[in-house]
Structure 1
Amino acid sequence: MTHVVTDNCRGCRYTDCVAQCPVACFHVNEARVYINPGVCIDCGACIPACPVHAIVEEFDLAEDQQHWIGINAEAATRYPSIRARMAPLEGADDRRRALGY
């Protein structure tokens, strides 16, 4: 199994999760991060680090969120790996509040 970054990350791009990852499985673009399922070791360290609850274990994904498995896998091939924390996007705190966190 692997972990999956869902839509809650869009527009926030908090990277607290990246700082917790022991294997550098995260990839980043201008709007969010993704997890490379081929690198993720399913340690779970990233889950509590995410302030917007965007990271879910694959087997815990709701039916309507299953598409995120493929999105993360494909995006990991297109975007660069990230190994260090970055500043969140402008407006990230507003997005977090809008999500209820």
Structure 2
Amino acid sequence: MTYVIAQPCVDVVDRACVDECPVDCIYEGRRSLYIQPDECVDCGACEPVCPVEAIYYEDDLPAGLGAHLTDNAAFFSDTLDGRPAPLGSPGGAAKVGPLGVDTPLVAGLPPQGPGDA
């Protein structure tokens, strides 16, 4: 089980969750943040600090946001545009830095502004 960052984060990318995460498992794409499911220890520290309520325990994802569970994992296991190989489990987001790419689901979303989530 893991936590998942869903659509409300797209184009917001508030890093309060990154600062709160004790295991450094929240990675930055171009338009969204992603939680590495193998590195997440399910502590839940990220969830209450998210200002847009984009972080959910995977079993608690609202029905309309369910695709983000698979999408979040795909960020680490699929080859994405601009990245030659899957990211895998690098063992910490800080040493990787912002990646500048997103999954096809996030990349294909229209721009998200206030009230658009």
Q: Give the TM-score, by structure 1 length.
A: 0.76
Tell me the number of residue pairs that the alignment of Structure 1 and Structure 2 aligns. Answer: 91
Residue identity in the other structure for 1:23: V
Equivalent position of 1:18 in the other structure: 18
Which residue does the alignment assign to 2:57? Answer: 57
Q: Distance in 2 between matches of 1:69 and 1:98?
A: 22
Q: CA RMSD of the aligned region, Å?
A: 2.5
SS of residue in 2 equivalent to 1:34: strand
Aligned to 2:115, the other structure's residue is in SS state helix
1:1-101 equivalent positions in 2, closer than 5 A:
1-77=1-77, 78=86, 82-83=93-94, 95=113, 97-98=114-115
- Identity among equivalent positions (%) equals 34
TM-score where L is the length of structure 2 = 0.67
Question: Which runs of 5 or more structure 1 residues have no equivalent in the other structure?
Answer: 87-93
1:82 maps to a residue whose letter is A
Q: Which has the higher contact order (CA 8 A, sep 6+)?
A: 1
